[in-house]
Amino acid sequence: MQKTRHRVLDAIADGPVPGPALADRLDVSRAAVWKHIEALRDAGFSIDGGDDGYELVSIPEFGGEAVEFGLDAPFEVEYHDTIPSTNDRARELADEGREDVVVLADEQTGGRGRLDRAWTAPSGGIWLSILLRPTVPPADAPAFTLAAAVATTRAAREAGVDAAIKWPNDVLVADGDGGQRKLTGILTEMEGEADRVSWVVVGIGINANVDAADLVDGATSLRAENGDVNRRVFTQRVLEEFHELRSNLDSVVPAWRDLADTLGRRVRVDTPGGEVVGEAVDIEFPGTLVVETDDGTVRVSAGDCEHLRPV
């Protein structure tokens, strides 16, 4: 059942509702209605309490309740103003047996990137980790990373930023000078047995309403590209798109192809087995890059990819 707090918000969104009528409609006590209204005000919702009853006036720009309100995906959102790493917190929740929870933060003080790198995550970004318990084999897990890249790229384009995906999961924006700047990074972590994933944490770092000067070299932000976004709406769009894709994993690779910047380019991929250089010609489920090299076709399932200038 929908949380009572959401039902309070739904009820007062379309006009004033007197407290007693609200209590009747939601089948709770008047004291409970009052408690929910106060909690929502504390969370930043502006609610009028005039003679006609309670009326929702405005929704906060960010936060757990704000993102959950009107979200068309079955995620609970745990919000933190500041936290070391949303991925670390999601892993704790995984240990507690939770699923379909999103840990969201305004700022991270110990953000983690791929390959043990640090991830700069100042206040104003969208730093989130989605905890899932999918019934798939571990080998399929890269598809969730691709899904996160697709979801974020779609949301960025809706916000007027012409983003594209570099294999496997960097969301980039052209810098107008033949190069590209990084808008989003994704760090997927998981635990499982040979045949079955136990949990997956998909960590998405979106440089949203932050100055590019506060990020590492080579990074950009939504603010720098097209001005500040409404982070509540942006986060909802990412979660909704991600939910659609994870519900139909076969749809991920075709969607990724449509948004990819890597296909058709010369690439150098640093893989655990050595360097692969050639033209990236396709991607196969769950995220394998197909590269035409001088020595024939090579399939790469993991590695660091660099776009090379055409020869």
Position with the least CB separation from ligand BTN: 185
Answer yes or no: are the C-beta atoms of 19 and 79 closer than 8 Å: no
Q: Is 119 in the site for ligand BTN (CB under 6 A)?
A: yes
Q: Is 167 in the site for ligand BTN (CB under 6 A)?
A: no
H or E segment and range at residue 55? strand 53-58
Report how far apart, in Å, the C-alpha atoms of 269 and of each of 85, 91, 189, 289, 290 are: 28, 29, 21, 10, 11
**Binding positions for ligand BTN, 183-202, rule CB under 6 A:** 185-187
Q: Does 236 bind ligand BTN (CB under 6 A)?
A: no
Binding residue for ligand BTN (CB under 6 A) from 117, 157, 196, 299?
A: 117
Under DSSP, is residue 215 helix (H, G, I), strand (E, B) or coil?
coil
- The Cα 39–Cα 45 span in angstroms is 9
207 binds ligand BTN (CB under 6 A): no
Contact call for residue 203 and ligand BTN (CB under 6 A): yes
Integer Cα distance of 301 and 271 in angstroms? 8
Which listed range, 14-22, 23-31, 43-51, 115-123, lies at the site for ligand BTN (CB under 6 A)? 115-123
CB of 98 to ligand BTN, least distance (A): 17
Q: Are 67 and 79 in contact (CB under 8 A)?
A: yes
Residue 85 binds to ligand BTN (criterion: CB under 6 A):
yes
SS (H, E, C) 192-206: ECCCCEEEEEEEEEE
Contact residue for ligand BTN among 40, 121, 141, 252 (CB under 6 A)? 121
Rg over alpha carbons for the chain, rounded to the nearest Å, is 21
Verify binding: residue 220, ligand BTN, rule CB under 6 A: no
Q: What is the spatial distance between Cα 148 and Cα 169, in angstroms, rounded to a whole number?
A: 8
Half-sphere exposure of 272 toward its Cβ, with a 13 Å CA cutoff? 3
Minimum CB distance to ligand BTN smaller for 37 or for 204: 204
Judged by CB under 6 A, the residue of 63, 124, 142, 205 near ligand BTN is 205
The answer to whether 168 contacts ligand BTN (rule: CB under 6 A) is no
Q: Residue 4 or residue 301: which is nearer to ligand BTN going by CB? A: 301
- Measured from the CB atom, is 33 or 153 closer to ligand BTN? 153
User: Site residues (CB under 6 A) for ligand BTN?
Assistant: 85-87, 108, 111-114, 117, 119, 121, 127-129, 185-187, 203-205
